[in-house]
Each structure stands twice: as C-alpha cells, then as structure tokens.
A = this chain, B = another copy of it.
C-alpha cells in the first residue's frame, strides 16, 4: 500500500510549487512511497503523481508488486514502448515535475512526444519529504547505526601486521550480515597510513605496518535504511603529530555536533567544524564538505557545506565528518550520523571517539 502520509506530503509540496503532476523514477523514492524496492536496471519504472489523486505506476511485468498497491498499475512487457505508455499517464496540458534521477533515455523522448506543456526539476518535492524522517524511519536509522557500531567493534579487531586493506575490506559485508544487517550501504573504505590521506581511496594491497593510521569509513544497510560512520585508529603506536591531528579532528566533530539544532543553517554547522581546523592551522587539509544527508540512500540531497544556507529541521539525518589529510603522511576522519531533534540532536553512533591504539 502507498504510505498515505508520505504521499500527502509530496502532493502538498507539488501544490506549493504550483505543479499538478510529477514523474518519479528514483527507486529509492518509489520505495519511500510504496514500501517496495524495485531495481529496474535499464527498464522504465515510474510513479506518476497527480494532485487530483489520480496516481499510477508503470511497471514491467517482470517485477512483482502487491495487488493492493493503492495506485493504478500500468503493466508492460519488454517489447512495449514504455515511454509512450508513460506519456499516456501524463496530462499533456499541464507542466510536469521530474525527479532528479530520471535518465535522459526516458526524459528526452518524452519531451519529443510533447507529453506535457513543460518540464521542471521538482525533485525537492519528494526529496524534501524524505529529508525529514518520520517515526518509523527514525527507528530504522537508529537500528542501522547500532548495527554499524557493532560492526566497527569487530572490524577494528582485525588489525594485525601485514594485513592488507583489501583483506580487511573483504569480510566486512558478511560480518554485517552475521550481525543482522542486510549488507553494506556502500563499498567500505579502508585506508592505511598515507592512503588515508587520499580522497576516495579504494582498498588495495597495502599492508598494515606499525605507526600507520587505520581509517575505516563503513556502513551497513538494514530494512532499506543506511548507516555510515568513520573511525580512525592507530596501529601499535601513535606519533605526536598523529595525536595532535586526531585531537583537532575530534574537537571539530564535537563542535559541529554541538551546533546542530532546529534552525541552525547547514553552512553554520560546517563552519563550526571548519573553524576548529582552521584555527589549528590545518584548514587547507580539510578538503571536503562536512557531511551529507542520508536515509534510504547513503547520500541524499542536503549537503552540510559552506554553500548550503538552509536551516536544518527535526527528523533530518546527516553525517558530521571532518577530516585532516596530510598527503604522503596520514589522514584522520571522524564521522557520526546525527538526527535533528526538537531541541538539538541525537548522535546515532555510540562507538568511542577516544584515540585508540590497536594491535
């Protein structure tokens, strides 16, 4: 069944943007509204919402959905012209809202058919609804992060001399599953020593050596919702500079988390962390935004960055992940997920942020 409360929020947002209809192709948004996650691959999957209440879903016969989905089902085969069917579900006289992920292979032919009177990006109507998690979603976000805390405790114990990043990454997914999660929410990032200073470094055959930092940026998925946490450990010893940098990043993380409350701007939260790092003289080594929103997808719209000046609202969940990356030396990042509450925030990760020496 369609989730009526969520649907109503999206329809309200459409009305506020003066739109009568919208096409949603993002499987995550379709899951949000219908409770069914379908990965259509190259095939078309589209939910067409109309403020009149005449909603429909276009879905290939290959995929099963419950009978009582609460929307008109338009079924098709691989041999049908699915874009023409989509056009038939759209009011040609009205403008059409389009979600952010609609691929050009459907959008451009739809435009050529003259399916609507105009097209505009209205992803915020559904993404904005998704941004503020309802009670059921908050419980799911808590549970995913609880499992992630448990996972981190296991992974950090794997550190031993000579283990490679790849070897350490290899068993993360099955460990999550054995703990009760459904798998990884993204490809685990494991970085030893200087590799931890490289943005988006993928685990390779670098072996772990004494004095290395061990950066683990990992997350699991549970019942459709994502976790995401980073901890940076040190193997067998921790140098003075490592200790100094770790302390700065930890203070930046704490300062940002303390700045989260309804009405605070995303950019102010970014600033809270960035100031700590800049004042310590490492500003140029914090090379990315502070965080990102998260939920059904590991990255959702809503950057915690210097250029995002909207206020945060209760129910939003995002990461706080300051870092300092010293090329050729080491990198430190400390990341938690936070849930905005009525008067502050709830930190979803409980895993210790004390500096830890492993092995």
| Residues from chain B with Cβ under 8 Å of A103 in the complex | 100-104
- Give, as a whole number of angstroms, the nearest-CB distance from A240 to chain B: 29
Q: Which of A266-298 contact B (CB under 8 A)?
A: 287-289
Does A174 interact with chain B (Cβ within 8 Å)?
Answer: yes
Instruction: Determine the distance from Cα of A99 to Cα of B104 in the docked complex, in whole angstroms.
Output: 7
A315 to B39, CA, bound (A): 29
How far, in angstroms, from A198 to B306 measured CA to CA in the complex? 49
Q: Please classify the interface of chain A as helix (H, G, I), strand (E, B), loop, or mixed, using the class held by over half of its residues.
A: loop
Interchain CA distance A288-B41 in the complex, whole Å: 15
List the B side residues contacting A174 at CB < 8 Å. Answer: 170-171, 174
A125 to chain B, nearest CB (A): 13
- Interface segment, one of A57-65, A224-232, A252-260: A57-65
- A-side interface residues, number (CB < 8 Å): 40
User: Do B100 and A105 touch across chains, with their CB atoms under 8 A apart?
Assistant: yes
**A120 near B107: Cβ-Cβ < 8 Å:** no
Q: A105 contacts B123, CB within 8 Å?
A: yes
Distance between Cα atoms of A100 and B104 in the complex (Å): 5
Say yes or no: is A73 at the interface (Cβ < 8 Å to chain B): no
Chain B residues with CB under 8 Å of A200's CB are: 62-64
A95-138: which have CB < 8 Å to B? 98-105, 107-109, 119-121, 123
Neighbouring B residues of A170 by C-beta, 8 Å: 174, 177
Nearest residue in B to A108 (C-beta to C-beta)?
B121
- B residues less than 8 Å from A62 (CB atoms): 199-200, 287-288
Which A residues form the contact surface with B (CB < 8 A)? 41-42, 61-64, 78-79, 98-105, 107-109, 119-121, 123, 170-171, 173-174, 177, 198-200, 287-289, 299, 301, 303, 305-307
10 A-B pairs closest in CB distance: A100-B105, A102-B104, A62-B199, A79-B307, A78-B289, A108-B121, A98-B104, A101-B103, A42-B299, A41-B299
Known contacts A99-B104, A170-B174; 4 additional CB pairs below 8 A are A42-B301, A62-B288, A63-B200, A109-B121
